[in-house]
């Protein structure tokens, strides 16, 4: 009997969460559409491109809205059960708050699974495709970190890539090679670089060699460039780290460490992605004290308002603590874990009062 009731509670909460997520997604999709209309007509960017961009961006919105939807959906689902006296009947039948909480935890585990699938499987390729499609429609090339291209370091080589073409090739690339004494020795410029197996093929190459005798310049049609930089790592440069899968972040963090570059931002993005499913579970856990705690006599509208305020508060606290962690050099894992731990502690304290 208890198992059946727990399944019923979990189904009710999941249904309410899906409804809340659908409503929030509709609101944010409309807002995104209005925002994208500002770029209508820029290059070849038309209504069809805007619709495709928004459709491909939906996994990102689902991922971002999931914690708030989990909290509001759980409050709404449990609130409906309480308003119809179903929870009272369950308690009268011998079901404890702990057993109800177990049903809520089933929902939390399900939402953690959804967050992992959306965040690591669906969102990264969809977001990369959306940004690539938008950039190609507006400019004819894949966007880079700035209008002036971007820089990467590979050992003693410093590479400047002006543009990334839609087919994945580099355009207008410069490679500056230094010796162990930090003296510039070779400057290589190429019109196009194309990745082939484990290296790049440079086309229309002009290479300048600098030594004590002066500067020697030679031109070749093609040359091979051996580099740790690969097309997968380029996605890390073009796409913000929070939109990448964890394995892509780990690979790029290892690359940066090997080249003695700053890795804090990417480590933080990695730990934020690890903690995101846990954040959704914490939001669901917070819903139980709403029903059995101090707000149990509050109308459902008041509970939803309180839930929305807590959800927004969690989001703002989470975002603010990220910036604080980066500025003051807090350990990335602690920066990502602190907000969920604080709200989990609040939920645990309120649950102790319920008991």
Six token digits for residue 99: 């057993």
Residue 82 has pLDDT above 70, yes or no: yes
Q: What is the mean pLDDT of the chain?
A: 81
Query: In this predicted structure, what is the pLDDT of residue 29?
Result: 92
Q: How far apart are the C-alpha atoms of 111 and 75, rounded to whole Å? A: 15
Which pLDDT band, with edges at 50, 70 and 90, does 93 fall under?
Answer: confident
Which pLDDT band, with edges at 50, 70 and 90, does 250 fall under?
Answer: confident
Domains and CATH numbers, the chain: 2-139+265-354 (no CATH), 156-227 (2.60.450.10)
Whole-structure pTM over 0.85, yes or no? no
Query: In this predicted structure, what is the pLDDT of residue 282?
Result: 87
Which pLDDT band, with edges at 50, 70 and 90, does 1 fall under?
Answer: low
Length of the chain: 355
**pLDDT digits 0-9 by tens, 115-157:** 889 988 898 888 878 877 887 777 665 544 455 667 777 778 8
* Residues near 179 by beta carbon (within 8 Å), at least 6 away in sequence: 156, 185
Query: In this predicted structure, what is the pLDDT of residue 248?
Result: 76
Residue with the bigger pLDDT between 249 and 184: it is: 184
Query: In this predicted structure, what is the pLDDT of residue 31?
Result: 92
Q: Which of 65-79, 89-103, 166-180, 221-235 has the lowest mean pLDDT?
A: 221-235
Label each residue of the chain as H, E or C.
CHHHHHHHHHHHHHHHHHHHHHHHHHHHHHHHHHHHHHHCCCCCCCHHHHHHHHHHHHHHHHHHHHHHHHHHHHHHHHHHHHHCCHHHHHHHCCCCHHHHHHHHHHHHHHHHHHHHHHHHHHHHHHHHHHHHHHHHHHHCCECCCCCCCEEEEECCEEEEEEEECCCCCEEEEEEEEECCCCCEEEEEEEEEEEEECCEEEEEEEEEEEEECCEEEEEEEEEEEECCCCCHHHHHHHHCCHHHCCHHHHHHHHHHHHHCCCCCHHHHHHHHHHHHHHHHHHHHHHHHHHHHHCCCCCCCHHHHHHHHHHHHHHHHHHHHHHHHHHHHHCCCHHHHHHHHHHHHHHHHHHHHHHHC
Q: How far apart are the C-alpha atoms of 299 and 221, rounded to whole Å? A: 75
Query: In this predicted structure, what is the pLDDT of residue 221?
Result: 87
**Which among 97-106, 138-147, 178-187, 229-238 has the top mean pLDDT?**
178-187
Q: Could you give the strand order of the β-sheet that contains 199-211, starting from the edge strand earlier in sequence?
A: 150-154, 157-164, 170-178, 184-196, 199-211, 214-225
Query: In this predicted structure, what is the pLDDT of residue 292?
Result: 67
Query: In this predicted structure, what is the pLDDT of residue 246?
Result: 81
* Percentage of the chain exceeding pLDDT 90: 12
Residue holding tokens 């880079």? Answer: 144
Report which of 14, 23, 176 is spatially closest to residue 111, judged by C-alpha positions: 14
Report which of 13, 4, 8 is spatially closest to residue 286, judged by C-alpha positions: 13
**Which among 60-69, 136-145, 191-200, 343-352 has the top mean pLDDT?**
60-69
Count Cβ neighbours within 10 Å for each residue of 302-320 and write b for 16 or more, e otherwise: ebbebbeebbeebbeebee
Residue 167 has pLDDT above 70, yes or no: no
Query: In this predicted structure, what is the pLDDT of residue 131?
Result: 79
Q: How far apart are the C-alpha atoms of 231 and 142, rounded to whole Å? A: 13
Q: Which of 39-48, 77-86, 126-135, 239-248 has the lowest mean pLDDT?
A: 239-248
Q: How far apart are the C-alpha atoms of 277 and 283, rounded to whole Å? A: 10
Report which of 27, 120, 126 is spatially closest to residue 72, judged by C-alpha positions: 27
Report which of 50, 182, 63 is spatially closest to residue 111, judged by C-alpha positions: 63
Residue 303 has pLDDT above 70, yes or no: no
Count Cβ neighbours within 10 Å for each residue of 31-66 and write b for 16 or more, e otherwise: ebeeebeeeeeeeebeeebbebbbebbbbbbbbbbb
Six token digits for residue 44: 């070849």
């Amino acid at each position: 009997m208890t198992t059946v009731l727990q399944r019923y509670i979990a189904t009710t909460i999941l249904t309410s969460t899906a409804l809340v997520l659908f409503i929030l997604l509709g609101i944010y999709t409309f807002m995104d559409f209005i925002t994208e209309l500002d770029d209508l007509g820029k290059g070849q960017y038309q209504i069809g491109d805007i619709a495709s961009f928004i459709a491909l961006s939906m996994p990102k919105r689902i991922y971002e809205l999931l914690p708030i939807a989990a909290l509001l959906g759980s409050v709404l689902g449990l609130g409906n059960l309480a308003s119809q006296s179903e929870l009272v009947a369950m308690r009268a039948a011998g079901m404890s708050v702990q057993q109800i909480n177990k049903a809520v935890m089933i929902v939390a585990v399900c939402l953690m699974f959804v967050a992992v699938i959306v965040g690591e499987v669906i969102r990264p390729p969809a977001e990369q495709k959306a940004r690539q499609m938008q950039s190609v429609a507006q400019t004819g090339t894949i966007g880079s970190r700035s209008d002036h291209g971007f820089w990467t370091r590979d050992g003693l080589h410093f590479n400047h890539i002006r543009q990334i073409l839609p087919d994945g090739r580099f355009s207008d690339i410069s490679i500056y090679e230094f010796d162990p004494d930090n003296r510039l020795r070779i400057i290589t410029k190429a019109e196009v670089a194309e990745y082939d197996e484990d290296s790049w093929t440079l086309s229309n190459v002009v290479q300048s060699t600098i030594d004590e005798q002066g500067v020697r310049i030679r031109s070749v049609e093609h040359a091979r460039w051996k580099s740790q930089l690969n097309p997968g790592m380029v996605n890390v440069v073009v796409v913000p780290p929070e939109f990448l899968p964890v394995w892509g972040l780990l690979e790029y963090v290892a690359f940066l460490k090997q080249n003695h570059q700053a890795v804090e931002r990417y480590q933080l993005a990695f730990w934020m992605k690890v903690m995101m499913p846990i954040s959704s579970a914490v939001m669901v856990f917070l819903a139980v004290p709403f029903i059995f705690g101090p707000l149990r006599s509050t109308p459902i509208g008041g509970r939803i308002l309180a839930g929305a305020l807590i959800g927004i508060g969690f989001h703002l606290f989470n975002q603010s603590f990220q910036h604080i962690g980066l500025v003051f050099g807090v350990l990335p894992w602690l920066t990502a874990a602190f907000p969920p731990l604080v709200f989990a502690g609040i939920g645990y304290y309120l649950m102790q009062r319920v008991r």
